[in-house]
Amino acid sequence: MKFKKLAAIAATVVLATGIFAGCGSQSTSSNSSSSSSSSSSKKKVIGYAQVGAESGWRTAETASIKEIPKLDPNFDLKFSDGQQKQENQIKAIRSFIAQKVDIIALAPVVETGWDTVLKEAKDAKIPVIIVDRNVKVADESLVTAFLGSDMEEEGRRAAKLVIDHFGKDAKLNIAELQGTVGSTAMIGRQKGFNEAIKDCPNYKIVKSQTGDFTRAKGKEVMEAFLKSDGDKINVLWAHNDDMAVGAIQAIEEYGKKPGKDIFIVSVDGIKDMFQLMADGKSNGIVECNPLLGPQLLETSKQVLEGKLKYKKVISKEGVFTQEQAKAELPNRKY
Ligand code: GYE
């Protein structure tokens, strides 16, 4: 009885980005081929319902997922790009069910609205692994495992970069570029940041709007912020790097110096942002790990063998200041 209960409790493990980045091709592929190369059985198929191609982070994640068949020739991948639309992702899942894939992996664009289609997957006895952002479902048995980041923690870390620089008592007017509304990445980062600045009586979020995680919208929204409150804003908090990259262009076009006149923090850690930070145009990056392919492969194997170790695997991620940017740039893998 006790044993059963223990086994049923979802375990959470924290793993280092470095481990995944390093273990990538060699160790994962050699392990797996030795364990199942003798059989001539059919390849296992993972159906991946991706969000879209909205950001540098996403491009890196897609590339990492597409590595799976190279890491382990016993696996095939069916990949669908949802173009940031939930209805496309639902269609993709239904098509994976019809094709009888072995595993469905979903990077959900938003958190809610998945109950029906995930129940269909469960009824078809196809395990579902949620990757990157999370889902909110009434019946937790619809989800076999989750791999991704702690988005609230990322928001808290972004706030800490600001607090460490200015101090708790500074008077700040903060402009916030939100990610896709309703996504875990947006909800969690906003919540974490706002909680962390609660003890800073003079920090004010004066502007807050979504830029949908893209460079183009980040630029457009920042232009509008500057037009109405240009001389007031002294901090930009962007839920991802790409929106910050767009906003930096807008700030320069407006005639201000990004990284100096406006202190900038963002989440992800893509190379372009590290370069801008090394150039003095941004001030802080909270890392978010997109290199989830090797982990998805490993978790899929465990699920298919009935040996799932952890229901939740949270990536371990770093924080970088402007002073660290130059030294870190050559190490970036995405
Ligand atoms: O931060 C952003 C992307 O869900 C963690 O989505 C992901 C976020 C990432 O578009 O750049």
Rounded to an integer, what distance in angstroms lies between the CA atom of residue 174 and that of residue 151? Answer: 20
**CA–centroid distance, residue 74 to ligand 1 (Å):** 29
192 and 215: one domain? yes
Helix, coil or strand: residue 202: coil
Residue 122 lies in a domain: yes
Shared domain check, 49 and 174? no
Answer yes or no: do 311 and 250 share one domain. Answer: no
Cα(84)–Cα(182) distance, rounded to whole angstroms?
Answer: 12
Domain contains 31: no
Looking at the domain assignment, is residue 305 inside a domain? yes
- Domain of 215, in residue numbers: 151-288
**Number of structural domains found in the chain:** 2
Same-domain pairing of 142 and 200? no
> Do residues 203 and 106 both lie within one domain?
no
> Which residues of the chain fall below pLDDT 50?
1-11, 16-40
Asked if the structure places residue 256 within a domain, the reply is yes
pLDDT of residue 108: 98
> Tell me: the pLDDT tens digits for 245-261?
999 999 999 999 999 99
Dig out the tokens for 196 from the structure: 């962390």
CATH code of the domain containing 270:
3.40.50.2300
Confidence (pLDDT) at 18: 36
Contact residues of ligand 1, CB 6 A cut-off: 54-55, 57-58, 132-133, 185, 213, 240, 242, 267-268, 288
**Do 161 and 142 reside in the same domain of the chain?**
no
Same domain, 180 and 254: yes
pLDDT given at position 3: 42
pTM: predicted TM-score of the whole model, two decimal places = 0.89
- The answer as to whether 11 is a domain residue is no
Pairing of strands 319-321, 284-287: antiparallel
Query: How many residues are there in the chain?
Result: 334
- Contacts of residue 33, defined as CB under 8 A and 6 or more positions apart, other chains included, come to 72, 73, 74
CA-closest residue to ligand 1 atom 8:
185
- For residue 120, CA distances in Å to 13, 84, 91 come to 29, 22, 12
Q: How far is CA 109 from the centre of its chain?
A: 11
